Structure 1
Amino acid sequence: MSGEQERARELGRIPITASIVGVQKAATSTMHAMLVRHRLVAPTFQNDPARQERNWHFANKELHFFDDEERDWSAPDYSHYYGSRMQEQQTIAVDATPSYVMWPGALARMRAYNPDMLLVASFRDPIERAFSQWSMGRGQRNPYPEFRDAIEQFDDESMLDHVPPGAGRWSVHRRSMVIRGLYGAQLVRGLAQFPREQWLMLNFSEWVRDYTAALDAITDHLGLHRFRRYPPLGHNPTPEEHTGVPPTADDIERLVARYADDLTLFEQLSGLDVSSWPTRRIATGSMPAEELADKFARRFVPSS
């Protein structure tokens, strides 16, 4: 065995006791990437024993354990859900799968696994979040339709309560583009599983403004000492330029109407101040829908 392989030997396994549960496109990848650089946080690995024998393969944060519909949830096997202690000082392992807060039954399954789980959830303006998911999806093998068509096609609120029969994870991911922004409805379900004191709820806008303060809040919540040197922010992989038809002010107004009541519920449940979010500002008349539409339109380039 080479020196590098010897250094990669697993010293033991650590139960996962904390999870970044949402939401997608709200810096969850960055948060997890920073956390695993903390000296007390053990990594999690994909369950691939053959690869692990030859070369440790770090998970790219998302274990997708509790949103796996192929598992037998009547008698779940948790043996593959763990962190790998690679250094003696590591004491905690953290999952980070941002679909958990939205996925039907995921948090109930997590509660059955460990009712004392500590949860972190980052929330972003729902229209900006939807546009960011759409932006990412435009570059995939089966690209999303134009934004106007996507907000019409991918708005099935029943998916908060059940996964459609035969729907795979990526199908649900795509078809839930709009409902992922119904944070109030998701928190009603989430707080029925875990009490508020086990949640740390973050405002993505504040993360962007001062990520070190938000990172301090996360380490405090998880019972870890704060970073002495903060890891640098990573690159955002979401595409910056698009072709096609930009969202119009009418599209924005449609989404504002979709989210307005739920956003009020979310603010009451979370305690977060969302007054600066474009959705709230447009709903209250302090920002024209055209302003957000113009912001998105600047991301589009003419077709070649």
Structure 2
Amino acid sequence: MPLPDFLVIGAPKAGTTALHAALARHPRLHMSAVKEPKFFLTDGPPPTGGGPGDARTYREHVWRREDYLALFEGAPPGALCGESTPFYLYDRAAQRRIRAAIPGARLIVVLRDPVERAHSNWTHLWSAGLEPIGDVVRACAEEPRRIAAGWAPFWHYLSLGRYGEQLEHLYSLFPREQVLVFRYRDLVDTPARALDRICAFLGVETGVITEVPRENVTAHPDPSLTHRLLSRSLRAAESILPPGPARAFAESVEGRLQQRGRPRRPLTWEQRRALIPAFADDVALLQRLTGEDFGDWLRPRERSGGLVGTRPTGQRQARNGRPRGA
């Protein structure tokens, strides 16, 4: 079986899960059975250890080649195969592995306001009981220490949003005509147009898929005593219990935490202003690389919202057993 023809490579928390589901509805596109296999993130087995919850994430990696190829079994004749792992854009080694294995691959990049992306990322981990710091600005300040300690990329709230650096490296490996870059807000505001643009880029019929599935609101539990106790018990269980019981315990705790939470609260201007300087130079680089204006990312937000619905996240987790990563 061949390797995939195209990849959705980034960024995390930028609608890639919803995009994967939308593309799967096109009769000429066959998306991997596992949405986020992470195959190109390693040359072999994934690492162990890291930050809270990382061990569970590493166990989800589809790292054996035969298992990865099996994700595309059953593709209709003539269909293009694709997968969506939003960490490929961030991981320079993954970019090189893709170049070595599939030099002709088409690559799809979705970029979200990096401050909003970082906040959504932090909220995801806080609501899952994994993030021990209840303020996004203070949690971002811990990033250098966490990276040095080997915490997985999903904890790299700020670094994941430095798209200019990531695209600069990607363009050194792939010709620009193989890379499609567009904004997350295009999926939100004009989904039919965004999907047509992707289909045209892949060379399949346009006008076939017109909607992007709605994502669920990530609950935002208050920093209560209950939240602290449940979160600590979840993190402790990972180091005490074997993988099976630890996963079951985590699912139970995460469900309780998110059922108690309110929908994600927007950033205040003070929080946004504190995080914008981390991206100012990279936004300038991104504008030079793409020729597009991303200056709105350095200003107050005029609105909030995204690919969200109204069902509590805890209900979603009861079905699939883990929080969504993108």
Asked if TM exceeds 0.5, the reply is yes
Q: What does residue 105 of structure 1 align with?
A: 93
Equivalent of 2:139 in 150, 153, 175: 150
Q: Where is the helix percentage greater, Structure 1 or Structure 2?
A: 2
Q: What amino acid does structure 2 have at the position aligned with 1:266?
A: L
Quote how far apart the aligned CAs of 1:181 are: 0.9
Q: CA deviation at 1:19?
A: 0.3
In the alignment, does 2:215 pair up with 1:226? Answer: no
Question: CA 1:227–1:267 in structure 2 vs 1: closer, same or farther (change >3 Å)?
Answer: same
List per-residue Cα deviations over 1:249-275 (Å, max 9, x = no partner). Answer: 443222111111110111221233324
Select which of 65, 82, 87 maps to 2:39.
Answer: 65
Equivalent in the alignment of 1:272: 292
User: SS of 2:72's equivalent?
Assistant: strand
**1:231-246 → structure 2 map (5 Å cutoff):** 232-244=211-223
Cα deviation for residue 29 of structure 1 reads 0.9
Q: Pick closer, same or farther for the CA change 1:238–1:102 going to 2, 3 Å.
A: farther
Report the Cα offset of residue 94 of structure 1: 0.4
Amino acid at match of 1:186: Q
Q: Mean alpha-carbon deviation: is it higher for 94-103 or for 253-262?
A: 253-262
Aligned to 1:10: none
Post-superposition CA distance 1:163-182 (Å, at most 9, x none): x68x3xxx323431111111
Q: Is 173-182 or 124-133 further displaced after alignment? A: 173-182
Q: Secondary structure at the match of 2:82?
A: strand
Amino acid at match of 2:22: M
Distance 1:22 1:126 in 2: 12
**CA distance 1:208–1:89, change in 2 (3 Å):** same
Deviation at 1:100, TM superposition (A): 0.5
Whole-Å separation in 2 of the counterparts to 1:153 and 1:129: 17
Query: Are the equivalent residues in 1 in contact too, given 2:143–2:157 (CA < 8 A)?
Result: yes
Q: Does the Cα contact within 8 Å between 2:6 and 2:82 map onto a contact in 1? A: yes
State the SS of the aligned residue for 2:100. helix
SS in 1 for 2:166: helix
2:111 corresponds to: 123
Report the number of matched residues: 245
Match of 1:93 in 2: 81
Q: Are the counterparts in 2 of residues 202 and 272 from structure 1 also a CA contact under 8 Å?
A: no
Whether 1:191 aligns to 2:171 is yes
2:40 match: secondary structure:
coil
1:105 counterpart SS class: helix
Per chain length, whose mean CA-contact separation is higher, i.e. which structure has more relative contact order (CA < 8 Å, sep 6+)?
Answer: 2
Distance in 1 (alpha carbons) for counterparts of 2:97 and 2:27:
29
Which structure's CA Rg is the greater one?
1
**Counterpart contact for 1:184–1:269, Cα < 8 Å:** yes
Q: CA deviation at 1:99?
A: 0.4
Closer/same/farther in 2, CA of residues 122 and 88 from structure 1, 3 Å limit? closer
Compute the RMSD of aligned alpha carbons: 2.8
TM-score, normalised on structure 2? 0.67
Distance 1:175 1:71 in 2: 20
Q: What does 1:140-179 align with in structure 2 at a 5 Å threshold?
A: 140-146=128-134, 147-155=136-144, 167=150, 171-179=151-159
Normalised to the residue count of structure 1, the TM-score between the two structures is: 0.71
Change (3 A) 1:17 1:87: closer
